[in-house]
Structure 1
């Protein structure tokens, strides 16, 4: 593999000092147009690009945003992380990603701290956690002065972190309003237990079910929140003869749709997240859209404005979601 050209190589080719090359790439002022053009031409000839990550590590200030994705298999999390990356890039801020990894140990989900620790060792200037983590033990030695924002999850054990997420109570009200308008009364909720966001979303459903005078029926997917768990729980839920099933997220809903296909039962199904798969014609899932753009805007604001971050430290910011109606929620017959 060819050696990556360095700032020293550019300086030598342009016949200038290393500090002048650094100034050209750091600022639009302070260098004459002629000398700037010579440096840029040398850089182009060599194929040189600035090492933003190395610059961030050297500066130790306003360096890079560390983004931790709680579940790489969740399409919403990866989609959101990339939207955040683009928003920070537009402000000239570099992002570096890590994906959390967990496994079942003696029937309990355990977080592998190594990937997160590797990211923390690189000293990010701030952290964005996308999704809910099983536990926050990898952060026990992290300074409370490090700005941290969590999105798409309830507030966890990080005392000063800011949580930005959809209002689950509003979401469940929208779903039940929609289903009851279609004539559904025998409704089952299918979702996981354990993690905080799972408990909060289930509580929101139970609260709205009581307000809407809907009989409370819940089938658990255990600790899982994927298609396989949705299939297993969906088959159990269908034994209750519901006319509609409300799912914790789109992935669980996809599994429930699979259960319907295997049992030949037709019921209304709703998801939560509005992932890109939900809009496919064969899926056509009615779901909750979390307004990713508004959430990203809040994240960038918080992590680039120290005053705003300080104001909301330790608090939750709720973004109002919207219901996207598709073919999966049908009128009760």
Structure 2
């Protein structure tokens, strides 16, 4: 007996995408008649039979949540994803987790695949990009979807957004460094013109302006490698810099490594505050001061909000931001005697 043809076989024979075949099977009005005929002819030629009962089991009642994350290599996002997944599991829901690696094309592919597999809901920390079509397809499919930590689509009436009060975090970090006697303070990390960079940087800018201090900004990828590289540049070109607010803890950890290599004592010669308060911040030496966003608790809250939506019909607010706190440690307070 030969292998039973699949939806991928139909798509290949008809010369269309798997998503298009799925739309034809769902009798979607979005597909042109000519394309519909091509798909139908391919199914007949292959002897493809659509199992509607099986498809129904993959539908909204399947209890499957699509959790799409922009960068699972970053411990901040990993902790969020793990926490959300555990909360869904406690309530009897399974989770499909995908890492898009900051690639909007991969993000689009993952979303299409999860739609086809009938997820009940999406929780998405999006990769930035120009393609809004993926969210349009989610809207057409009528799948409840939350944007978290980053906002890509402005239609929060369709795709509610939840995150942290990043502007407040930037203010807390900068005020703290000023209180420590620092006057020449820079902001390091974050890609230019990204919403998340502007949010984290806005608090720094506001406090520096209020205290008539000169702003210094060094943009770059939020990575250890960038932090280390910029440390050497700062040491050479800005030896009088007294303190740094970092876009993320990863940038701060790289900065600490580079400064140590250059013979600069972090916590004494220069003060540093990171952002996110990942676990490693409290384990390195000197211990890293950081704006705590509590990604673990946030993951639980996000899952609870989504479950209330799909189970009880209680939709999340269009926008919700959770408060942050500054954790003061050696890199800004100074080294222990």
Alpha-carbon distance in 2 for matches of 1:268, 1:204: 18
Alpha-carbon distance in 1 for matches of 2:229, 2:209: 26
TM superposition shift of 1:135: 4.8
Change (3 A) 1:86 1:204: same
Q: What per-residue deviation string (whole Å, max 9, x for no partner) do you get for residues 16-40 of structure 1?
A: xxxxxxxxxxxxxxxxxxxxxxxxx
Change (3 A) 1:181 1:56: farther
Aligned equivalent of 2:172: 174
Alpha-carbon distance in 2 for matches of 1:135, 1:327: 41
Aligned equivalent of 1:88: 88
Aligned equivalent of 1:130: 125
Q: Normalization by structure 1: what TM-score?
A: 0.73
When structure 1 is superposed on structure 2, of 135-144 and 253-262 the one drifting more is: 135-144
Aligned equivalent of 2:262: 263
Question: Which structure 1 segments of 5+ residues have no match?
Answer: 1-53, 104-109
TM superposition shift of 1:199: 2.2
Aligned equivalent of 1:321: 324
Aligned equivalent of 2:42: none
* Counterpart check, 1:252 vs 2:274: no
TM superposition shift of 1:59: 4.8
Q: What per-residue deviation string (whole Å, max 9, x for no partner) do you get for residues 26-81 of structure 1?
A: xxxxxxxxxxxxxxxxxxxxxxxxxxxx9994353262110001112111101110
Aligned equivalent of 1:58: 58
1:186-205 counterparts in 2 under 5 A? 186-192=184-190, 193-205=192-204
Q: What per-residue deviation string (whole Å, max 9, x for no partner) do you get for residues 146-182 of structure 1?
A: 2211222245445422221111121112112211111
Look up the SS of the partner of 2:71 in the other structure: coil
2:306 paired residue among 303, 307, 310: 303
Look up the SS of the partner of 1:305 in the other structure: helix
Alpha-carbon distance in 1 for matches of 2:232, 2:207: 24
Q: What per-residue deviation string (whole Å, max 9, x for no partner) do you get for residues 264-303 of structure 1?
A: 1231111101111111142511101113344234312321
Q: What is the aligned-residue RMSD (CA, Å)?
A: 2.6
When structure 1 is superposed on structure 2, of 186-195 and 231-240 the one drifting more is: 231-240
1:225 paired residue among 199, 222, 226: 222
Question: Which structure 2 segments of 5+ residues have no match?
Answer: 1-53
Look up the SS of the partner of 2:205 in the other structure: helix
When structure 1 is superposed on structure 2, of 82-91 and 209-218 the one drifting more is: 209-218
